[in-house]
Amino acid sequence: MSLPVIGYREILKAIRKKGFYSTRQTGSHIIVENGSGLWTSIPRKKELGRGLILQIIFDCGLTKKEFLELL
């Protein structure tokens, strides 16, 4: 399964289903956390590269398969 090239809105929508919420915005980056110590920074871009999406998935404690099911 390969990751699609998606934007920050789709990523936020998916990880909110797992309990993540926006805590603040610094410049063009949105910081999200889940209250259990996991957090990540998501750049506000229309398209994010696959490597960056993988890093966001890893930071959120998800697998690629779990993330794709949330989309």
SS3 string of 2-49?
CCCCCCHHHHHHHHHCCCCEEEEEECCEEEEECCCCCEEEEECCCCCC
Q: What is the CATH number of the domain that holds 20?
A: 3.30.920.30
> Which pLDDT score is estimated for 46?
94
Task: Render pLDDT for 4-41 as a digit per residue (tens, 0 to 9).
Answer: 999 999 999 999 999 999 999 989 999 999 989 999 99
The residue-averaged pLDDT of 50-55 equals 94
Total structural domains within the chain: 1
How far apart CA 63 and CA 39 sit, in angstroms, is 15
> Which pLDDT score is estimated for 58?
95
**62: in domain:** yes
Residue 30 backbone phi and psi in degrees, to 5:
-105, 130
**24: in domain:** yes
How far apart CA 37 and CA 9 sit, in angstroms, is 22
> Which pLDDT score is estimated for 1?
73
**3: in domain:** no
Range of the domain at 33: 8-70
**63: in domain:** yes
**34: in domain:** yes
